[in-house]
Chain A
Amino acid sequence: MATSALEYGHATAAKRSVLVEWLTTVDHKKIGIMYGASAFIFFLIGGLEALVIRTQLMRPDNHLVTPDFYNQLFTMHGTTMIFLAVMPISAMFFNFFVPLLIGARDVAFPRLNAMSLWIFILGGLFLNFSFLLGAAPNGGWFGYAPLSSRMYAPGHNMDFWVIGLQILGVASLAAGVNFFTTILNMRARGMTLMRMPIFVWAVLVTQVLVLLSFPVITVALIYLMLDRTFGTSFFNLTANGDPMLWQHLFWVFGHPEVYILILPAFGIVSEILPVFARKPLFGYSAMVFSMAFIAFLGFGVWSHHMFATGMGPLADSFFSLATMLIAIPTGVKIFNWIGTLWGGSLQFKTPLYFALGFIAMFIMGGLSGVIHAVAPADLQQTDSYFVVAHFHYVLFGGSIFSLTAGAYYWWPKMFGKLLDEGLGKAHFWVMLAGFNLTFFPMHFVGLLGMPRRIYSYPAGLGFDTLNLLSTVGAFLLGSSFLIFSYNIIKTWRSGAQAPADPWNGATLEWSIPSPPQEWNFAVEPIVTEKDPLWGLKRAAGVKVLPEPPRVSGEGIHLPAPSWWPLIVSVGFLTFLVGIMVKHASAFPFGPISIAGFAITLYGIYKWAYEPVDGHAPTT
């Protein structure tokens, strides 16, 4: 590592205010924390939307909200939870932990990483800004065209959705390129692919899905934007537009997207179970291959979302069979998790509670998923609350349980404090009870015939009690996150200081101080086996390694902070907002778009010519 004395980064670091430090940071840990904090706020907003929905449905013939506002609520609830909560909370873990788990000092492209963050935050704010104009998206998270075209969806509602999703897509794609490269190229010496922590494998496979599926939705969104703004007819049936085009393009993206939401969760649980069972992950390579197989099959099953469109027996059979096939690698994973627990000396800490909750809830969601794979059965269930029950069991029971497990597991590493165990377990039980009370009755109310996305229902159809139960459950579920928030505040104020390795971990992040210093590893680690930290402990004959010292970091090269990622993100947002505001059918871009384009281009040039090397500030 070259050391050129007193470079830019070092000399100015002391003068920077805290705000400027966070706005210009390229440190993957700070970026991860910002991902997590903003995503948690969006998660709470999405949860609030769900509570209003449940209050509206609490009893028959309720008129708490107008039908149109109800449409906005369920559209934004779905869009928020998928794109602004689960994906970026996963991204928090990618950012903070992938470099630590592979023994790197940062990601491959730190400034690009910052750009992903800012584009995500701006896109999320932009989407939610629509509420202030009373024009939140109202066409469902899937935005089916032509229903979402200007003819059937006038007003700016769906413009916000079309533009917002394009913005968020760019953030995901940039992060996809970054993390794929980071994982392949920044691993510590000796960390072969088959020695990588299983979470890193999950991230790698997830990025492949992002990289190959997001371009498809991007094109679909561009078509829809052109239809809405420039007067084309890609989805206009009267002008020979294909009524199936949107559905195909959307679900070619949409099905891989569900694995983008669940594979990181698989990875987190696969890290937690071995640590709290005190034995290595059962069937590591089977876990890796099953993830790859799930991802591969995930691109060949999209039309199982379209059985009701009448594709014909051949297509129905193909997509039915392909979908059922996915149950096999998924089953492999579940058996391996159970195999990991089998015979282990289980340490019943909060992360394990949530991980076990994940397995149980995910199995239930998986089972109703296999039912949907049967095309004739799906015709009965499609667009009913049975489907709502199914995907909440996999997305909440699966993803959110696992992400929460990850939060309790990695909190001490991120913030140097251990979350309270008692409150954590209370959080778990309230969440488990609230979750099942909310979503289990939806199976029944769905099979009784209650359709999705209706804002009210008449009394006497047998829906009343079940809906009331769901609403009570939803408030219980919401309150579990109040416990979590209280836990966070309490820990912040007076939590126990966490050691470097509070759980007897197996992976590299536990070998460095909590929280890590800016350069992560004072000495770049060398890896000779899977679960490297357990190997070290075995070799030293100890249960806990001595607490690693905090060092000065003098002479360690780190990327310098930069304004350009933020500026490029603002320019890009301005460019797309300009298209939305223009709204006339004349083709050339309006002045706002041109200004945004100019800012973006200028930012990219300054970025490209900016020196990247700085120094670690001494602490």
Chain B
Amino acid sequence: MTTAALDLHAHDAGAHHTSMPVPSRKLAMWVFIASECMFFATLISTFVIYRDSHAKGPGPKDVFGVPLVTAGTAVLLFSSFFVVMALNGAQQGDRKKLLRWLSLTVLCGVFFVGMQVYEFTHFVTEKHLGYTTNLFASSFYTLTGFHGTHVAVGTLWLATLLKDAWKGRIPPAKALNLEIAALYWHFVDVVWIIIFPVVYLMSLGR
């Protein structure tokens, strides 16, 4: 599915007539995102059903620490802004601007994934919340793990585009390549904006 959007060298914009005023690859990414909404909706609902299932082992209040996750949230939010700036650079043909903001975006992605790896390790080793300890743990790790995988895929994708940009392969005519990746990146960000309050804050405030 992401392969469609990774189609870096598909037809040049404008070479083909499209019925809607949107390039096919961009439309496809929107469609994919709609489908992904159902994917995450199912994962989030399951977590909500199971967050109190921790008769055995620690529960949300025993493990969740707000500061680190808030930092991760902020980083992800900022990265959405960064990628917009990078896209702006690509569209203007400003290679320096593109490289600067795109590398910042990739850094944010790496930081977020790193934060999650640290968080998971911390929960498992110090809080003794294994993957199968209880249903709260399983549904939490599965939901945030799948989100983290999406961030990792996005980071890899943006890093690939960064390499392309470095070699000067993203002229304004090919800014669409970055625009589609940015669309995906915003979506992954929005999912986290839902996960952060629903999973962390609401579980703590109960």
Contact = CB atoms under 8 A, between A and B. Distances in A.
Interface of A: 2, 108-109, 111-112, 115, 170, 173-174, 176-178, 180-182, 184-187, 189, 191, 211-216, 218-220, 222-223, 226, 230-234, 239-242, 245, 249, 524, 568, 585, 587, 604-605, 607-613
Contacts of B78: none
Given A185-B22, A234-B139, A239-B135, A612 B46 contact: no
Nearest to B18: A185
Contacts of A234: 46, 50, 135, 138-139
Nearest to A214: B35
A173 B7 CA distance: 17
Given A232-B138, A234-B135, A191 B19 contact: yes
B42 A240 contact: no
B11 A189 contact: no
B75 interface: no
Contacts of B131: 230, 232, 587
11 contacts: A173-B35, A177-B28, A181-B28, A184-B20, A186-B18, A186-B24, A213-B38, A232-B132, A232-B138, A587-B131, A612-B7
A2 B27 contact: no
B27 A178 contact: no
Contact of B34 (A212, A219, A220, A568): A212
Contacts of A223: 46, 142
Contacts of B31: 176-177, 180-181, 211
A112 B19 contact: no
Contacts of A232: 131-132, 135, 138, 142
A605 B20 CA distance: 29
Interface in B45-62: 46, 49-50, 53, 55-56
Given A185-B22, A185-B27, A189-B17, A608 B9 contact: yes
A230 B135 CA distance: 13
A349 to B, nearest CB: 33
A177 B20 CA distance: 16
B35 A184 contact: no
A223 B47 CA distance: 12
B94 interface: no
Nearest to A603: B3
Interface in B1-19: 1-4, 6-11, 15, 17-19
Contacts of B160: 605, 608
Interface string B59-72: 00000000000000
Contacts of B105: none
B134 interface: yes
B19 A186 contact: yes
Contacts of A180: 28, 31
A142 B68 CA distance: 42
Contacts of A239: 53, 56, 134-135
A212 B38 contact: yes
B3 A568 contact: yes
B3 A233 contact: no
A607 B10 CA distance: 10
Contact of B49 (A170, A182, A245): A245
Contact of B55 (A174, A181, A240, A610): A240
Interface residues of B, number: 42
A109 B1 CA distance: 11
A187 B19 contact: yes
Contact of A608 (B3, B15, B39): B3
A607 B3 contact: yes
B42 A181 contact: no
Contacts of A605: 160
B1 A608 contact: no
Contacts of B24: 108-109, 181-182, 185-186
B193 to A, nearest CB: 19
Contacts of A112: 3-4, 7
Nearest to A564: B3
B18 A233 contact: no
A240 B8 contact: no
- For A109, A176, A177, A181, the residue with the greatest tally of chain B CB atoms inside 10 Å of its CB is A181
A218 B39 contact: yes
B102 to A, nearest CB: 17
Contact of A212 (B2, B7, B35, B49): B35
Given A185-B20, A239-B134, A607-B3, 6 more contacts: A112-B7, A182-B24, A212-B34, A230-B132, A231-B132, A232-B142
Q: List the 8 closest pairs (A to B, CB-CB), nearest first.
A: A215-B39, A215-B38, A219-B42, A232-B138, A211-B35, A187-B19, A608-B6, A108-B24
Nearest to B43: A219
A219 B28 CA distance: 22
B163 to A, nearest CB: 11
Contacts of B2: 604
A604 B3 contact: yes
B49 A174 contact: no
B32 interface: yes
